[in-house]
Amino acid sequence: MQKHKETQDTPEPEPGAEAADITDVDAMTPEQLAEIWEAEAPEKAGPVANMASSLVVLALSIGGVIMSINLDLGTPQTPKAGMWPFIVSVIIGVMAIVQLTVGRKGGEDGEKFSKFSWFPLIGFGTLILLTLLMPLVGFEVPAFLLCFVWMRWLGGERWRSATIYSLLVVVLFYLIFIVALGTSIPHLI
């Protein structure tokens, strides 16, 4: 019997072969990177979801315009409290209308709602909680809690790093706004 050596011939990857097999990101072509990003991208939402989200943004914009008018706009020479919220709300409304008309055709850019879609709402809710608690207990405790929630649960930081970063942010804000600028933000110390 003749002994022969079994060899496995692994073929060289052809140009345009699967990019997932390549581990060196620096050696990848833009096409290979785009292919990987497309494979990892979340599902597309479609035109109905894009229209619904644009209508929500438009409704928020209209609410912002109404509330800013109630604050008194003033004039361009002497703006009052409602001027900048009014301008920002109008810009947001215009962008929502453009998205309703132009974005409807594309419809492939938006992502389907997932568990991460709740993160902006949670962030907004914690900001409202911050503004409600600040007059009662000062800014230090609510600001620490806000930073901690954002870093730990929304940002995925570990407990220790979220605690340290939150403390650093509060100390930095205290030094800037209370010590250096002397603002009248409610504070404990």
Digit-coded pLDDT (tens) for 123-149? 888 888 988 888 889 889 999 999 999
Q: Supply the mean pLDDT for the chain.
A: 82
**Cβ within 8 Å of residue 147, ≥6 positions away:** 162, 165, 166, 169, 170
pLDDT of residue 17: 47
pLDDT of residue 55: 92
d(CA 185, CA 177): 8
- Give pTM, 2 decimals: 0.55
- Express as a percent the part of the chain with pLDDT over 70: 84
